[in-house]
Structure 1
Amino acid sequence: MELDTFTDLLDYPMYLVTAEAADERAGCLVGFASQCSIHPPRYTVWLSKANHTYRVARHASHLGVHLLRRDDRSLAELFGSETGDSVDKFARVAWEPGHGGTPVLGEACAWFVGRVLDRFEGGDHVGFLLEPVAESPQVPGRPRLLRFTDVKSLTPGHPA
């Protein structure tokens, strides 16, 4: 059974997830993520097992979760259509090491860094349960966020 009838109606925000482990950085565009607890605050991001970022994140103590503005398409293309197996994405963007060495992207609308509490299988993706430990300054106004329909035409760096 497929979920197409249901999922075709969704237009969820896209996230850019970054990781660092053993002096290797990685990042990718992610559509599967959500807050999963209020008290204590927890967030879960799902990374494809086919993705270079997943291979780095398996060994990372922290992950960065970034929101992009709707007009950040070039950043979405870099992290969504290129693979870290062959491209150093971080050579092309402004970033700083955040908590645990996690890359924090300067162009992101908002971000948080979360300590990885757990990892769990979910089919072709693995969920990373995060405890937020640092976040960006408050964003003025309410920017229009990059959504799935803004990037669904991108060719992924790795097949899903």
Structure 2
Amino acid sequence: MAGLDAFAEVLDYPMYVVTTRAGDERAGCLVGFASQCSIDPPLFMVWLSRANRTYRVAHRASHLAVHTLRPEQRTTAELFGGRTGDDIDKFDRVEWGPGEGGVPVLSDCCSWFVGRVLERVDGGDHIGFLLAPVAESPSGPVRPPLLRFGDVVDLSPGHPA
């Protein structure tokens, strides 16, 4: 797949923190594979690695929250991307509150939405979660710059992809 590697090498997509909850278990991870995929109805697809603890919790969850970060929030990206919830409770280290469906919503982020899981799609080593938004953060006065893949390309993942 050298052609796809060369194509993907030039991309600098936004990074997201995805959080979820199933029962008493909370989980969250840093995600780069995500995009709005429909305008009407509004739908968003998030891809989670099968190797990730967040995937194992999300597989049983009814909702996911998707958060954008600012470039200066690399510490939050490192927590959710470089550490695994198998070893630590990430939510002890950030401010958050319960959102729709009980999912953790991070207090300090650019924007967020909570989506109800409509469908799960097999995508190889990642599973896609098709989300219908049910709650969202208020709009800000300006569109801030977002944390992007280039800002975290050197981050060592908490789990292999």
Instruction: Tell me the TM-score normalised to structure 1 length.
Output: 0.99
Tell me the equivalent position of 2:94. Answer: 93
Please list, as runs of the form range in 1=range in 2, the aligned pairs for 1:1-160 lying within 5 A after superposition: 1-2=1-2, 3-160=4-161
* Secondary structure at 2:114 match in 1: strand
CA drift of 1:139 comes to 1.6
CA drift of 1:142 comes to 1.4
Once residues 143 and 135 of structure 1 are traced to their aligned partners in structure 2, the CA distance between those partners, rounded to angstroms, is 17
* Secondary structure at 1:34 match in 2: strand
RMSD: 0.6
Residues 67-86 of structure 1: CA distance to partner in whole angstroms, max 9, x if unpaired?
00011000000000000001
Once residues 22 and 101 of structure 1 are traced to their aligned partners in structure 2, the CA distance between those partners, rounded to angstroms, is 9
Name the aligned partner's letter for residue 127 of structure 1: G
Please list every run of 5 or more consecutive structure 2 residues that lacks an aligned counterpart in the other structure: none
Structure 1 runs (4+) greater than 2 angstroms displaced:
none
Please list every run of 5 or more consecutive structure 1 residues that lacks an aligned counterpart in the other structure: none
Once residues 138 and 59 of structure 2 are traced to their aligned partners in structure 1, the CA distance between those partners, rounded to angstroms, is 28
Once residues 25 and 57 of structure 1 are traced to their aligned partners in structure 2, the CA distance between those partners, rounded to angstroms, is 9
Aligned length: 160
Once residues 96 and 30 of structure 1 are traced to their aligned partners in structure 2, the CA distance between those partners, rounded to angstroms, is 20
* Secondary structure at 1:116 match in 2: strand
Once residues 115 and 10 of structure 2 are traced to their aligned partners in structure 1, the CA distance between those partners, rounded to angstroms, is 30
Once residues 54 and 141 of structure 2 are traced to their aligned partners in structure 1, the CA distance between those partners, rounded to angstroms, is 30
Residues 45-104 of structure 1: CA distance to partner in whole angstroms, max 9, x if unpaired?
000000000000000000000000011000000000000001100000000000000100
Once residues 110 and 54 of structure 1 are traced to their aligned partners in structure 2, the CA distance between those partners, rounded to angstroms, is 22
Name the aligned partner's letter for residue 110 of structure 1: S
Once residues 160 and 116 of structure 2 are traced to their aligned partners in structure 1, the CA distance between those partners, rounded to angstroms, is 28
* Secondary structure at 1:71 match in 2: helix
CA drift of 1:10 comes to 0.3
